[in-house]
Structure 1
């Protein structure tokens, strides 16, 4: 995780690939005996960190690190598409008309994925991994390039949540689909870590995993956890908006870090499952604030897939706190949903 000094004792801490930065002063309590502790490490090909307020006699950093690493290890074993022995990759390797007993977490995420797919009329889908591989973005991708139309049609036979079925504790499929949880796994992990911290008596914390965040309470000096929404640029980091967060997960999805250019067009790793192709529109990034980091993670991806107009309508219909950054001839323009404006105190 990179860090550069912003001002005073604050640092700019970046997550996985885009969107969110944490403004965290190294503060201590004013005579309270509280201290701001921090632990971190590697996960999911990126990093994780936990900042928390430790009261006298509270959990020490070594214990917190151990608890977080155990959670992340279990999530990796269940949900990773980058290890052949994970629960989901063993399922993905099965042929059509197969079933496999799965952990409760996998079944929960499949249900959430089905909900988001239905609400987006099939644009968002957890089974796009074969498409990611075909275009060169997935774990089995070989080269980032535009595939021929026949190849896309063939792969689309193995895409769609309708091919999945939950039977008790088993996940079943009637086609050779492959499930990819990358759009919600980090948010899910953040929620689990946050719940574990609270179970340890830690009520003031900021959790980050691969760029997905959740914050609760205050820092030792009584100031808020502050999150900067990053302008979607691939050449440098520029803070677009700074917000205080307490009791919410925050997730940003964007198209500006993982893409390739061909014939002057940008092809990102964000796919519309209905077309089998990367999205091509002017919506560069979406930030969602939600009580659940899991839902913030999934919804930011869903809204990015939908594009400017459909995303605005979806956020309005479902009362989602969303912040949109769009490309324009003069640079970037921003829009906020009504729920976002109310949450962060924007003036109309």
Structure 2
């Protein structure tokens, strides 16, 4: 380690957000007080939660959801940005990522309410309509209006955007070496003070324990994983993943165990991980190659083995032999 790196002080902060916790590791000069940085980081994620939560009926997103059709609703800048990014990735993924799945998420019991058979049938019927035909944006006025009834849900992108806000907050304090995250979605700023990359574990898709499958080395990049092994509901004795299939308005059937994406921002990584979960390894890997994405698909084979399909500059395109789960 260089003398310059030993002159720096390492900070490790964390706090509550979005039903989980945020974290931040970073380096500063020894005389820097971390208290204002902690407060700013907490405020940044609290702002995202206040604007995009589906659990808070007073959030800006939920106010948009209950606004009348054809009514122009002014929304704050961060929410406006995430709505447009979500719509853009939805269009680029041919609808595999859909921010209009609020009714389906609620119906199947992944929101504040229990699953409802009546709502499930309604959500599956409504899934035929795309979100892009039901939202309009006024860029100059930062306004949004619905052209048809729709319930928006940003759980597939908001957490990643929260990570981006943590990174931007560190940069606002002049910090160029750090690693921030929310519940496993991570973003690296620069390198460590000794010029080594930040190392991040890709978790094995094991619901019973947390073990690494592989290790990533990142510099100025973000990583997010979507999987079927942490969040699910049980319906009629069957465990269903929280990721919705926009084509059906229902949880995915036989999805990949997980999809990990490395991208410039965590919001992009978060949304694309969900989109490629929906598309599966065959169609998803093809789209990832077309879009220049770095993607890791982990697939369950017979027994307890896991097979990987890897795409992009950080990975190879060659399917790997089966490996025991958790190794």
Matched-pair contact (CA < 8 Å) for 2:52–2:61:
yes
**Number of the residue aligned with 2:324:** none
Matched, 1:34 2:8: yes
Under a length normalisation based on structure 1, what TM-score does the superposition of the two structures give?
A: 0.83
Rounded to whole Å, the distance in 1 between the matches of 2:156 and 2:123 is 21
- 1:146 Cα deviation (Å)? 6.1
Aligned counterpart, 2:123: 152
Q: Deviations over 1:279-320 (max 9, x none)?
A: 112411011111111111111111111111111111010010
Query: Helix, strand or coil: the match of 1:339?
Result: coil
**Contact 1:285-1:325 at 8 Å conserved across structures:** yes
Deviates most, 186-195 or 282-291: 186-195
Tell me how far 1:135 sits from its aligned partner.
0.9
Q: What is the alpha-carbon distance in structure 2 between the residues aligned to residue 299 and residue 112 of structure 1?
A: 11
Long gaps (5+) in structure 2? 321-327
Shift of 1:262: 4.9
Query: How far off is 1:153 after superposition?
Result: 4.4
How far 1:120 sits from its partner (Å)?
2.0
Match of 2:313 among 318, 339, 343: 339
Looking at structure 2, the residues matched to 250 and 218 of structure 1 have their Cα atoms a distance apart, in angstroms, of 15
Q: CA RMSD, aligned part only?
A: 2.5
Aligned to 1:110: 83
Q: 1:91 to 1:149 in 2, by over 3 A?
A: closer
Aligned partners of 2:229 and 2:93: how far apart in 1? 22
1:121 aligns with 2:99: no
Distance 1:151 1:28, change over 3 A: farther
Aligned to 2:243: 270
- The Cα shift of 1:251 comes to 0.5
TM-aligned CA deviation for residue 73 of structure 1: 1.9
The corresponding residue for 1:212 is 185
Q: Which has the higher contact order (CA 8 A, sep 6+)?
A: 1
> Where do 1:124-143 residues align within 5 Å?
124-139=97-112, 141-143=113-115
Are residues 61 and 161 of structure 1, via their aligned partners in 2, closer, same or farther at CA, if it must alter by over 3 Å? Answer: same
1:324 aligns with 2:297: yes
Which secondary structure state, in structure 2, belongs to the residue aligned with residue 88 of structure 1?
helix
Deviates more, 1:333-342 or 1:206-215: 333-342
Distance between the aligned counterparts of 1:236 and 1:156, measured in 2? 35
Q: Distance in 2 between matches of 1:31 and 1:205?
A: 13
The 1:31/1:72 distance shift into structure 2, 3 A limit, reads closer
Equivalent position SS for 2:180 = strand
- Normalising by structure 2, we get a TM-score of 0.88
Question: Does residue 1:50 correspond to 2:21, yes or no?
Answer: no
For residues 55-97 of structure 1, the C-alpha deviation after alignment (integer angstroms, 9 at most, x for no partner) is 233x422121011012112112211111111111111112323
Secondary structure of 1:322's aligned partner: strand
What does residue 285 of structure 1 align with? 258
Where do 5+ consecutive residues of structure 1 fail to align? Answer: 1-26
